[in-house]
Amino acid sequence: MLVENGLRVLWLARTGWMQSGIPPSLAETVSQHTFLASLIALDLFNKMRNIGKKIDENVALKMIILHDLAEGLSGDLPKWTSERISKEELEEEALSKIKLPEDLAEVVREYMRMETLEAKVARLADLMATWRMAIYYKQLGFETDDIMNSSQRESIKLAKEIGIYEED
């Protein structure tokens, strides 16, 4: 079942990039985003170890890998839409429809609650992956300032909350 859900997001382009004028052939997919966020999380784990912060890395990685799987059912909602609906209800319904094993569904719920360090680090990696892709697309000549600035601002705020932000 996990593989079937993964196949649904393998080629699902992220909506924000296409709304920024990036053609579907170049738009980052949900699965590419998950991969980049996972790599960023590994870097964040090292940083946290170096400053003495403990985190359950397995749980945080599971959150990153699993939290967007429901988009295979709901699609990647534009930010404008997700800010105007009950995203929590939609995600919970999608979670039940994709039939994740209960232990993994609980990991996704923990991520959605955003109360634990693992959830916050997973979210930070997610935001940083978006920020990095916005920089990449900007370098290619696409207008991604809105996404770049909002993901940067949210990343810095969350990194400060977690206690891993360093001023340049």
Q: How far is CA 82 from the centre of its chain?
A: 14
Q: Is the pLDDT of residue 44 over 80?
A: yes
Find out whether 13 and 29 touch, Cβ atoms under 8 Å. Answer: yes
Q: Tell me 27's DSSP state.
A: S
| Three-state secondary structure call for residue 29 | strand
Tens digit of pLDDT for each residue in 11-36?
999 999 999 999 999 999 999 999 99
Tokens of 86: 């009950």
| Three-state secondary structure call for residue 13 | strand
Is the pTM here over 0.85, yes or no?
yes
Question: What residues form DSSP beta bridges with 29?
Answer: 13
Tokens of 41: 């999380």
Tens digit of pLDDT for each residue in 140-163?
999 999 999 999 999 999 999 999
Find out whether 45 and 105 touch, Cβ atoms under 8 Å. Answer: no
